[in-house]
A = this chain, B = another copy of it.
Amino acid sequence: MRIPYDEIVVLLAAILRANGFSKDRAVPAAELFADASRDGVQSHGLNRFPGFVTMVCDGYVKPEATPTLVEQMGAVERWDGNLGPGVLNAHQSMDRATELAREHTIGVVGLRNTNHWMRGANYGWQAAEAGCLGICWTNTEPNMAPWGGDRHGVGNNPLVIAVPRSDGHVVLDMAMSQFAYGRLGNHARSGEPLPVAGGVDSSGEPTTDAAAILDGGRVLPMGYWKGSGLALMLDLIAALVSGGKTTRDIADLEPEHSVSQVFAAIDLSGVNQASFHEAVVERAVEFVLAAGEGEAAPRYPGQATLSTRRDSGKNGVYVADEVWQRIKDLAPDR
């Protein structure tokens, strides 16, 4: 079904209010969930909202906890997320990174002891809207076998990189697994094969059968040894910069909480003319798009976002019927 964005925010915020969020925190948190669905990322938007409320009810997410500054060290700051809501902690941290970037050209925030940030691209778009290049990533619980292994040993540690562009920012949001678990679930339900092998089945054979991957198999890192190696590096940097936990440490915390994240912003407005920036980005994007034709032609990262957002604005945000029902069931009596 299609629901107007504002109606979603009102309902989500009411539910958060009933679960310990103050009003000035319930609305922005609700918006960050609604934004993900509005931009077409239901798996990390409304689909996750009921689970998020459960985490709040169970005390893993502290609605009113906000990040506290632990160390100020030049262009880098270390903050403790105090297990506050991941979406609000992440948003505040990218905001702080852009402030630091105004002063030092680059600003980096290491955030420890925080919670799942839901859709990472939200914070990339945020940096780009502020006129900055944005780079951020999070570690996760171990949910992927490193290349050569058959037991979970790395997280899928999503990485987001954003570059401002006037006709729609270029925003990459990619986990270190070849496919997100959400997408595997969709394919497992529909039976449609994955476009490329996304994991191995229970006998270790590469497969495009999502159900076989989820049922006794395991996901493959993107690029095999490459995604596996990059996942470890992102985990190490996040833990070292934030002073927080690695994927290994998070393994002991069930359900997943207290993750480590890095937010970097680069503000080049003092040195790059806007026209230089536009020309660089536009020409490079144009070159990528010109490298093929047809239905599966090249796209730039984030290309679909603005059209989906426009469609959501016009026709309402797509929400699966059962998800909307589950959310309505969480609503306080009015």
The interface of chain A, by Cβ under 8 A from chain B, is 71, 73-76, 78, 103-106, 108, 133, 142, 145-154, 161, 163, 170, 172, 174, 178, 195-196, 222-224, 226-230, 232-233, 235-237, 239-241, 243, 246-249, 251, 266, 268, 270-272, 276-277, 280-281, 283-292, 296-301
* Contact A243 B271, beta carbon cutoff 8 Å: yes
Task: Report the copy number of this chain in the oligomer.
Answer: 2
Q: In the complex, what residues of B have CB within 8 A of residue A105's CB?
A: 73-76, 108
Asked whether B284 lies within 8 Å of A246 as measured between CB atoms, the reply is yes
Q: For chain A, what secondary structure do more than half of its interface residues adopt (helix, strand, loop), or is it mixed? A: mixed
Query: By the criterion CB–CB under 8 Å, are A229 and B145 in contact?
Result: no
CB distance from A57 to the nearest CB of B (A): 31
Cβ-neighbour of A288 out of B146, B272, B298 (below 8 A): B146
Chain B hits for A237, CB < 8 A? 133, 161, 163, 266
A162 to chain B, nearest CB (A): 8
Find the residue from A149, A222, A235, A251 having the highest chain B CB count within 10 A.
A149
Complex CA gap A226/B156 in Å reads 13
The residue from B108, B222, B248 contacting A287, defined by CB atoms under 8 A apart: B248
Q: Which 8 A-B pairs have the closest CB atoms?
A: A153-B291, A149-B292, A222-B223, A149-B291, A74-B104, A223-B223, A76-B105, A248-B287
* Known contacts A78-B271, A148-B296, A297-B148: A170-B233 contact under CB 8 Å: yes
CB <8 Å contact, B153 and A232 = no
14 A-B pairs besides A106-B108, A174-B223 with CB distance below 8 A are A145-B298, A153-B289, A153-B290, A163-B236, A174-B226, A196-B224, A222-B226, A223-B223, A232-B288, A236-B284, A240-B280, A246-B284, A246-B287, A251-B287
Q: Once the chains bind, are B232 and A284 in contact (CB under 8 Å)?
A: yes
* Selected contact of A239 from candidates B227, B280, B292, CB within 8 Å: B280
Which residues of chain B have C-beta atoms less than 8 A from A296's C-beta? 148
Bound state CA distance, A231 and B14, in angstroms? 42
**Distance (whole angstroms) from the CB of A218 to the closest CB of chain B:** 10
In the complex, which residues of chain B have a beta carbon less than 8 angstroms from the beta carbon of A301?
229, 232-233
Min distance, Cβ A160 to any Cβ of chain B, angstroms: 10
Residues of B within 8 A of A229 (CB): 172, 174, 300-301
Distance, CA A241 to CA B196, complexed state (A): 35
**Shortest beta-carbon distance from A205 to chain B in Å:** 13
A75-B105, A240-B280 in contact; A146/B291 too (CB < 8 A)?
Answer: yes
Tell me which of A71, A145, A298 has the highest count of chain B C-beta atoms within 10 A of its own C-beta: A298
Contact of A284 with B247 in the complex, beta carbons under 8 Å: yes
Asked whether, in the complex, the Cβ of A298 is within 8 Å of the Cβ of B75, the reply is no
**A145:B247 contact, CB within 8 angstroms:** no
B241 near A268: Cβ-Cβ < 8 Å:
yes
What is the CA–CA distance of A159 and B186 in the complex, to the nearest angstrom?
32
- Please give, as numbers and ranges, the residues of chain B lying within 8 Å of A298 by CB-CB distance: 145-149, 153, 228
